Amino acid sequence: MKTALTGIKPTGIPHLGNYLGSIAPTIKLSEDNKVLCLIADYHALITIKDKKVMEENTLKLAATILACGLDKNKLLFRQSDIPQIFELCFILNCFTAKGVLNRSHAYKTMVEKNIKEEKDPDTGVNVGLYEYPILMAADILSFGTDLVPVGFDQLSHVEIARDIAIRVNSEIGEVFTIPSPKITEGVKTITGIDGRKMSKNYDNVIPIFDAPETIRKRISKIVTDSKTPEEPKDPDTCNIFSVFKHFATMERIEQRRKDYLNGGLPYGKMKDELAQTLIDEFSEKKKYYDELIGGPEKIENILQRDGREASKIAETTLKQIKSKLGIK
């Protein structure tokens, strides 16, 4: 078995982008690989400083991951329960050039946003954001990770982790497994209701465990062009179809594709069908999710148990690199 690690920040209610980009690929990987699923609460600390919000988000994220089916060949744990990650993080700092961090996605995105708004480039940039890739590298390298399922926007951070691992190995001898990113084809970017990438930052997400009426309301707001029902439409540029194709059967996908191209299919009808498809897809999972949220002690027991196992793995890695550096 290979080891795969995914990290998800508890920064809000889990949505379709999280599910398609990270949770579903991770569950698929757990069928044939050992999977470590890390709730990245220290990464979330970059933007969240409220105790209640952090605790609630962590609970909801853990419940979502479990309800969606992550139940074999896995460890599910909080980043903050693994102190070895943070000790390794400082060691990696000492092997990483500042210029490497200048090309990280998180930092570049913030700088570009500030420049566009005619602000100082580093407005709102804390050191936690700037060093995000090194902490992510410590997450990955602590556990001998072979595969890292990520969205396309996180690819540069995995590449930085690879570069750091290669540099450390070349300078002090083999310590780290060199990780490889795994991007699921077809879900490189999940479109939100406004046509941009689905993100809590844009408030354009579709939560997966909301009440049916709330899901219908969110989907009704999906942006479309101004074509009439009778006009032929391009399914590959339609924001509704871009989500629909991930959940419908192949037969339904091909039929709707033909309906788009032939004309006569109103966007309103497709929104209704998408809403019902998602409600049906997550109805059973939502029952388990609600059960877990109603009994949070079960989630806490899993996090504590798996955290102890993850800590043992990280401790082995940390001892190896400290030994090579002469650190007791």
Confidence of residue 159 (pLDDT cuts 50, 70, 90): very high
Domain 3-190+296-325 has CATH 3.20.20.70: no
Query: What pLDDT is stored for residue 156 in this prediction?
Result: 87
Asked if 92 and 164 count as a contact pair (C-beta separation under 8 A), the reply is: yes
Question: What CATH code is assigned to 209-289?
Answer: 1.10.240.10
Query: What pLDDT is stored for residue 187 in this prediction?
Result: 61
In the predicted structure, residue 324 carries a pLDDT above the cut 80: yes
In the predicted structure, residue 298 carries a pLDDT above the cut 70: yes
Tokens 């401790």 belong to residue: 315
The pTM for the full model equals 0.89
Rounded distance, CA 173 to CA 167, Å?
10
Asked if 214 and 223 count as a contact pair (C-beta separation under 8 A), the reply is: no
For range 192-204, the mean pLDDT:
85
pLDDT in tens, 58-91: 999 999 999 999 887 899 999 999 999 999 999 9
Mean pLDDT over the full length of the chain: 93
For range 287-304, the mean pLDDT:
96
In the predicted structure, residue 240 carries a pLDDT above the cut 70: yes
Query: What pLDDT is stored for residue 185 in this prediction?
Result: 64
In the predicted structure, residue 222 carries a pLDDT above the cut 70: yes
Check the CA dihedral 328-176-29-210 and report its sign.
positive
Asked if 23 and 130 count as a contact pair (C-beta separation under 8 A), the reply is: no
Q: Residue 187: helix, strand or coil by DSSP?
A: coil
Rounded distance, CA 274 to CA 266, Å?
13
Rounded distance, CA 230 to CA 265, Å?
7
Residue type, 244: F
Domain ranges of the chain: 3-190+296-325, 209-289
Query: What pLDDT is stored for residue 188 in this prediction?
Result: 58
Asked if 102 and 134 count as a contact pair (C-beta separation under 8 A), the reply is: no
With CA atoms as reference, report the closest residue to 174 among 311, 312, 314, 317: 317
Q: What are the residues facing 6 on neighbouring strands? A: 37
